[in-house]
Amino acid sequence: ELDGGCPRPVMAVPPSSPARDAPEPPPPPLQYSLLLQHLVGEQRRPRAWDPAALGGIPSPPKSEEQKMVERAMESCAFKTALSCVGGFVLGGAFGVFTAGIDTNVGFDPKDPYRTPTAKEVLKDMGQRGISYAKNFAIVGAMFSCTECVVESYRGKSDWKNSVISGCITGGAIGFRAGLKAGVIGCGGFAAFSAAIDYYLR
């Protein structure tokens, strides 16, 4: 529009700006921080290691000699011999220990007032140790052989094998003194075997 023949200036209106009080949107999270949360953060899931998933650990095939040695070590004869030797050693040590704390070792019943010599004391300790060693060796061999036979017959390895073999071993030892002693020996050895098996398992 002209004013007296001169154009009137027109002022430009500035664009409307958003309200300053409105909150700004948060920046998007970084990708590497999300990745760290899944790797080492709270969103990490523990993964159980399963060797079967990798095909197992490779092992060289066993030779015939190794298989034969394993079969021999798992046989009843080897277990019986090992228990016999272990019982002999344990019984000898127990016999020597009991003789060492016995105040009557080395004394002569015909002359109780005579002081025994060191040689006589050692002789009595050795005799008692040998006696205990033989008894322990016999019991250990009988128990181990019976348990191995029972386990092979049943095809299971549980506490019943120890109870059955303990009853058989105690009954066989006690029957030498009569039927009543055999029953008591069977029950006592079975209970002792069950207690030892429960403690070891």
Q: What's the CA angle centered on 59, arms 54 and 64, to 5 degrees?
A: 150
Global pTM value? 0.61
Collapse the DSSP code of 111 into the 3-class scheme (helix H, G, I; strand E, B; otherwise coil) and give the result.
strand
Task: Locate the domains of the chain by residue range.
Answer: 70-102+116-156, 158-200
pLDDT averages per 10-residue partition of the chain, 201 residues: 51 52 61 62 61 59 80 87 93 89 75 77 89 93 91 85 91 88 90 84 68
Burial of residue 30 (number of CB atoms within 10 Å: 0-12, 13-18, 19+):
exposed
Q: Residue 33 carries which DSSP code? A: H
Collapse the DSSP code of 69 into the 3-class scheme (helix H, G, I; strand E, B; otherwise coil) and give the result.
helix
